[in-house]
A = this chain, B = another copy of it.
Amino acid sequence: MTEATRRERLRADTERDIRATARALLVGQGRDSVTLRAIARELGITAPALYRYYDSREALLRAVCEDICADLDAELTPAIRDVPSDDPLGRVFAVCRAFRRWALAHPQEFELVFASPEEESVGLGRTEPGRTEPGRAEPGRAERGRRPAQDRFGSVFIHVIGHVLVAPEAFVPTSEDVPAELHDDLVTYRQRLLESLAEVGVTVPAELLQLDGVYFILKWWVRLYGHIALEVFDRFPFPLRDAEPLFERMLTELAVESGFPNPAANDG
């Protein structure tokens, strides 16, 4: 780590400062307000200097996305650790509640990460018609550049689920029959789950995570995301005074469907 040059350290510092400033602007005044000139102004430099660090505003926003995901990860993980590992359902509840709380407290960041269609070179890459080859032209950046936000968030979700799965008894039920058309995708996802967990040092026996379980997780991610996004964007079909009871009831249903007949947790 300390092998880095002085220059490299300085560069990394300002790079971090830039993203932090951008994020402060995002949180404070919304996505449209995170402006290259505003960032530069805040840092006491000029806007073109930022191009020494990021290729474009869009690239900067992508980097901010990754920072947000890292922070979300860092916030959800301890929320799990606070619950004893012999209470897997409690851990699931904890991470779901923490995710909701985070989303409500950081709506702008939630929107940027979880509700933007696509991030790949919006209207810029086509200005040079010569480079039509889809092959890996720039190995350094483009290699892992496909769907960075999704990958980054995928890892958050994987971490979270992984920490729950290491409970002494797996909580995911195995009574569902998965749709045949989803089989291949689910197998791929289970592979990624196990690999990603192994990276963090968590080894899960493969037979613990059956395909039914993966399907179960996927289905519940839909409900979790649906509720939180609706609440953040205030898009319930009618103004809901307080959506928390609805959320807690959803968790109760999750508990029931998981095979826990009498959930102990009632409110957060």
Contact = CB atoms under 8 A, between A and B. Distances in A.
Copies in the complex: 2
A115 B233 contact: yes
Interface residues of A, number: 57
Given A116-B233, A229-B225, A30 B239 contact: no
A246 B235 CA distance: 23
A159 to B, nearest CB: 11
B114 A233 contact: yes
A123 B30 CA distance: 10
A111 interface: yes
B30 A122 contact: yes
Contact of A237 (B30, B218, B233): B218
A7 B145 CA distance: 54
Interface stretch (A13-21, A126-134, A180-188, A205-213): A180-188
Contacts of A233: 114-117
A211 to B, nearest CB: 13
A237 B221 contact: yes
8 contacts: A115-B115, A115-B235, A116-B233, A117-B234, A147-B239, A158-B237, A189-B237, A225-B226
